[in-house]
Structure formats: C-alpha cells, structure tokens
C-alpha cells in the first residue's frame, strides 16, 4: 500500500470525526513522525498494545476493499501480567461502498456497533472443520436479542444498532452503496491483528508500505521504526 494512500485515509477520517461525527480523538492520534521519535517510556502501553491508527487495503484497491481504524484501548494477549485490560475498543471507519473481506477470529468475541452515517450490511457463515464455509445456521446477538440466520444470511445495522460476533464466525461487511460512510466501533476481547485473524482470499492484513511520500501520521506497524525506548 502506498504511503500517500495511508496519509490520505487517516486525514480523511480525522476530518470526518471532527466535522461530521463530532468524535474527539486522543492527543496521540495527532502525533507527527518526529514527535513519535521523541516519545518516552510513558507511551509504552500505546506501542506495546497496538493503539493508534491502522490502514489496510488487504492487498487490493483500498477504496473498494479496505478499512481505516483507530484503536483507543487494548490489552495484550502476550503480556497479560503486565497489561491486565481484557478488552479492546476501536473506531472502524468504513467508506461508502467499502468492503471488509470474509474472515473470522480464533479467540476474539466482538461487538460491532454502527455509531453513525449509513447502514452497514454484514454477511455471515459459521466456519467449517476444513476452514471453509459451513452450511449450518449462524447464531448471533443483535442488540442483546438472540438471532439465527441461515448460512450466508445478512444482518443490516442502522445507526445505533449492534451485533455480537463469536469466534469462528465468518463475517464480511459493506457500507451500503449510496448511503454514506459508516462510523462503526468495535468493543471486544483483547485484539491482536498479527495472530487472531483468518482471512479468505486476500493479501496481507497488515500491508507492506511503498514509501512514495513522507509519512505524516504513523500506523501502529510503523512504531518499531520510529520509537526508540
């Protein structure tokens, strides 16, 4: 993914949070690369727990298949004795018509909440023993109400609505075309994007970066190149 695409995506979401959704972001959302180089030990939790920006195109066309997210808080499945938070909260910004590819999580249970904008359509399958799509029904919770849909069935979330997804439940979503961007939130168990995602037929979840212009904002995969404590 090109650095220019990452810069543009982050700044697009910053403006949307400020102007359309009135969502304040924490100070570290606005740190420049030079400021990241100078941060101290007091920022270690941000770095260790992958807080901050993440932009991915899943190896394809970002505007068609992609996601911009911001992780506000997270525990750490690898260092639970150090970081005792058992939960994660993140912004999942889905542009009009943008798709998140099919995937499931081995360990994470998550709530996806439509906080505003257009509607978000999710399609669901249970994972089969061979890691493909099962033909069995899928049972989820929609705003605390137990719901069962057939394999490949869909749930549409209007603003204010939410869904609870369990481990081994394949899901894809799309911001319904023509209805605008969707500001979704995830509230979940601890998140680890390096070890707990099983995607089908896509490129890298955390893409390599083509440095076609200087970074103006870092994604959490950049921290190891900038932070020196």
- The pLDDT tens digits for 164-194 are 999 999 999 999 999 999 999 999 999 998 8
**In this predicted structure, what is the pLDDT of residue 77?**
93
**In this predicted structure, what is the pLDDT of residue 65?**
96
Give one DSSP letter per residue of 121-180, joined into a string.
EEEEEEBPTTSSB-SS-EEEEETTEEEEE-TT-EEEEPTT-EEEE-TTEEEEEEEPTTS-
Give the number of domains in the chain. Answer: 1
What is the CATH number for 184? 2.60.120.10
**In this predicted structure, what is the pLDDT of residue 206?**
87
Please state, for a pLDDT cut of 70, what percent of the chain lies above it. 100
Q: Residue 203: is its pLDDT beyond 80?
A: no
- The pLDDT tens digits for 110-126 are 999 999 999 999 999 99
- The pLDDT tens digits for 124-172 are 999 999 999 999 999 999 999 999 999 999 999 999 999 999 999 999 9
Residue 207 is part of which domain span? 3-225
């Amino acid at each position: 993914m090109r650095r220019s695409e990452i810069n543009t995506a982050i700044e697009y979401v910053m403006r949307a949070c400020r102007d359309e959704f009135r969502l304040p972001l924490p100070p570290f959302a606005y740190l420049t690369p030079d400021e990241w180089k100078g941060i101290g030990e007091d920022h270690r939790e941000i770095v260790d727990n992958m807080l901050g920006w993440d932009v991915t195109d899943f190896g394809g066309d970002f505007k068609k298949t992609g996601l911009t997210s911001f992780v506000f808080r997270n525990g750490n499945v690898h260092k639970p004795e150090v970081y005792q938070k058992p939960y994660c909260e993140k912004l999942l910004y889905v542009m009009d018509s943008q798709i998140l590819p099919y995937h499931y999580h081995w360990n994470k249970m998550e709530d996806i909440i439509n906080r505003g904008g257009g509607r978000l359509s999710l399609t669901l399958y249970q994972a089969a023993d061979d890691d493909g799509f099962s033909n069995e029904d899928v049972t989820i919770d929609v705003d605390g109400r137990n719901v069962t849909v057939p394999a490949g069935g869909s749930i549409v979330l209007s603003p204010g609505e939410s869904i609870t997804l369990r481990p081994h439940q394949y899901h894809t979503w799309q911001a319904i075309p023509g209805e605008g961007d969707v500001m979704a939130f995830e509230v979940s168990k601890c998140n680890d994007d390096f070890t707990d995602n099983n995607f089908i037929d896509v490129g890298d979840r955390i893409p390599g970066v083509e440095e076609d212009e200087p970074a103006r904002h870092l994604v959490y995969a950049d921290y190891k190149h900038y932070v020196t404590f």
